[in-house]
Chains A and B, each alone.
Chain A
Amino acid sequence: MRELKILAVVVVLTLITYWGVEPYAHSVMHPHVAPADFTFSDTKEDVADVKGLQGNVANGEVLVTSNCTACHAIESKGFPQVMDNASSSAAYGVTPPDLGSAGKLYNADYLAAFIKDPAKASKTAHKFVDGKVHPMPQFNWMQPQEIADMVAYLQSIAPKEMTNKEVFTDACQRCHSIKYADMKGGSMAAFTPNDNIKHYMGKLPPDLSQMIRSRGHHYLETFVNDPQKLLEGTAMPRVGLTEESQAQVVAYLEEVGDSKKAQREELGPKFLIYLVIFAIFAFLWKASKWREVH
């Protein structure tokens, strides 16, 4: 009985200390922010005129072909990159994305808002001051119907299924490397060369290899959805990923950065079962030995 009382004291003091230095301290150091908003509700007003419209795919194709392919590739539709990555990032600051998967990766409302005003939708207007402008021009001079048509076209050409890696490549890799994904081959370096991206963003965007361990699911889920919420003033744009695409990005970060997670979770219970058996036998042995002396 006395032993249990002592144990209770030890456990309580340990838990109080743990609570103080872990959950409590972290809640103070990282104040709670609103959860991810996959409806991108702040763009509602900007796209109110587009929202109810039915997009015309055929018309959208004409518009996209004539307005976008001067800079953007759409490999799947026969529009290759206009320049290689190094030249295009020298010209624009950052390599422009291929639009083939945009209709799947990005939320439709966000896409409309982005076409109208890229800096505003991506929440990077603070970067484009003093004569600097977003490399993609605003298309807010277009008719709402035309915007709706373009979005409809992009959605129509997007693949239905993409692997986690494909989503990562199209959504993140223009700026971010993730070298652990191909440590020997080096194929997972950012598309934009370091010097260009550093100049464009103000600093080199971090390699994402260990983000799943350094930031964790919870942080990434809010951060990727809206970087400004957790890192005010950051140069990273809000890219407007749908909930599904974002989940694929985070899953990819986990595949690369915590590749042994499955093994860990599979092995853990076995260790614990073994140790429970060990503890039972240890207690039985102890009881048999102490019977001699009590």
Chain B
Amino acid sequence: MAKFEKANSVGEWLDQRLNLTTFNKVMMTEYWIPKDINFLWAMGVLLATTFGILVISGLFLMMYYKPDVNLAFDSVNYTIMQEVAFGWLFRHMHGVAASVVFLIIYIHMFTGIYYGSYKQGREMIWISGMLLFMTFSAAGFSGYMLPWGQMSYWAAMVITNLFGGVPVIGDALVVWIRGDFNVADATLTRFFMLHVFLLPITIMGIIGLHFYTLRIPHVNNQSSDEFDFDAEAEKYLSGNKKESKVIPFWPIFISKDLAVLGIFLIFYFYLVFFHYNFAMDPVNFDPADNMVTPAHIYPEWYFLWSYEVLRGFFFDIAGFKAFDIGLIAFAFANVIFLLLPWLDRDPKILPAHKRPAFFVWFWLLMVDLIVLTVYGKLPPTGTNAWVGFFAAVSFILLFIILPIISKIDAKKRGSL
């Protein structure tokens, strides 16, 4: 055991035992971030804050929520929304944050794609980030079931049904997931468990991993400039702050994040108080009724693009059933982003505007995703079905041609 001197202050006492000074340096004041960044680099802190809002508001909601098909709807819409002091505020904050967090996730993700921050050593950042996207999606889906409204019930019905498409074990799998032959009380209670325990704890773990993955390859910058972080840090510490290409996480980087966060919170709380229907669908204020199918069933906006890839294949092709093709395409859409670091064959990290072919590819992808999102909500009839079909095919093609596209850029530049 180390020898301990008598401490002269509480801080010193703690420092002796926990080495807080060093910890503070490593995590904050000497954790180096590139200086050449724009506000898109603040999305991580926005996400951490939004997740914090979700956890805290969720804790309050959990004090009154009842995971039982006979009690759930009223516990949310009567007890929480009308009886509990400021229960409505926590519910609105939770519902709106659950939707807005996906907007920020998408911005964060496409920032990474645009600036090439997913490859050449940064693969683990990307993968842990995509795992967060997946676990957040699962949390969003399971949480949407809890109020036990019409859309809770029918979305759960449609989505759990998808697992029936898995070969051989499909039917058994659906029953296993639901805990019943139908979406019922057992389903609600287990999704409650997933939503309030297993998924949040998994998310917290992966957030830790995601932060850690940044340590070795470091954060990218907006001109994808590669430099020696240690040398730049030395410059900064020796007082040459203006010339150094790095800044410490605390207080320089965080000061910019907080400024962006301020703007974001104004936007977020405006939605919480005055414009929440986009996140809390009015249809879900009708109690779940297994005898009445809503006229239009659609998932929350952030799932629409992949839902439309699933739905886009609405006719049998060459003996394959439309449902199976759709399901395969849906599976493709959900894993393909994970493989992005290996689909991009350009060995150099550059922002998209310095990669002519990739630049076009990126914006085509954005347009295609927006088309898929919008048509994922519209009724899939007539022309809509065909727009959905072509947008879904384009989505798949875009990822198939990405290796070629990225190679063309590299060849033209002479990197290959």
Contact = CB atoms under 8 A, between A and B. Distances in A.
A267 B273 contact: yes
Interface string A265-294: 101100110011011101101101110111
B258 A285 contact: yes
A10 B107 contact: yes
Contact of A282 (B39, B74, B261): B261
Nearest to B81: A260
B402 to A, nearest CB: 21
Nearest to A288: B255
Interface string B36-59: 001110000000000000000000
Interface residues of B, number: 53
Contacts of A279: 259, 262-263, 265-266
B88 A264 contact: yes
Interface in A1-45: 2-3, 6-7, 10, 13-14, 16-18, 20-22, 24-25, 28-29
Given A25-B378, A275-B266, A275-B269, A283 B370 contact: no
A219 to B, nearest CB: 9
Interface stretch (A91-99, A129-137, A205-213): A205-213
A255 B236 CA distance: 61
Contacts of A271: 269, 272-273
B377 interface: yes
A272 B270 CA distance: 7
Contact of B256 (A16, A25, A280, A290): A290
B252 A289 contact: yes
Contacts of B135: none
Contact of B274 (A207, A268, A289, A290): A268
Contacts of B413: none
B301 interface: yes
B170 interface: no
Given A3-B38, A293-B242, A286 B273 contact: no
Interface string B329-360: 00000000000000000000000000000000
A215 interface: yes
B39 A6 contact: yes
Interface in A147-205: 180, 183
B121 interface: no
A286 B82 contact: no
A24 B304 CA distance: 15
Contact of B39 (A3, A16, A210, A294): A3
A214 interface: yes
Given A29-B379, A282-B261, A293-B35, A24 B374 contact: yes
Contacts of A80: none
B259 A283 contact: yes
Interface string B66-88: 00000000100110011000001
B283 A278 contact: no
B205 interface: no
Given A17-B374, A216-B282, A260-B81, A293 B247 contact: yes
A280 B266 CA distance: 11
Contacts of A13: 366, 370
Nearest to A14: B103
A259 interface: yes
B39 A180 contact: no
Contact of B265 (A183, A267, A278, A285): A278
Contact of B255 (A29, A180, A263, A286): A286
Contacts of B244: 293
Contact of A272 (B269, B304, B374, B377): B269
A168 to B, nearest CB: 17
A57 B230 CA distance: 98
A292 B252 CA distance: 9
B321 interface: no
A13 B40 CA distance: 15
A109 B394 CA distance: 59
A13 B270 CA distance: 19
Nearest to A264: B273
Among A280, A283, A289, the most chain B Cβ lie within 10 Å of the Cβ of: A289
A259 B378 CA distance: 33
Contact of A20 (B241, B261, B370): B370
A16 B367 CA distance: 10
A214 B281 CA distance: 8
Contacts of B265: 275, 278-279
Contacts of A24: 374
A228 to B, nearest CB: 16
Interface in B75-123: 77-78, 81-82, 88-89, 92, 103, 107
Interface string B208-227: 00000000000000000000
A164 B243 CA distance: 70
Contact of A21 (B247, B282, B301): B301
23 contacts: A13-B370, A16-B370, A17-B374, A20-B373, A20-B377, A21-B301, A21-B304, A21-B374, A22-B278, A29-B296, A260-B81, A260-B88, A263-B88, A267-B273, A272-B266, A272-B273, A279-B266, A282-B259, A285-B255, A290-B252, A292-B241, A292-B242, A294-B242
Q: Nearest 10 A-B pairs (CB), nearest first?
A: A279-B262, A268-B273, A20-B374, A214-B285, A213-B285, A289-B255, A286-B259, A25-B377, A286-B255, A282-B262
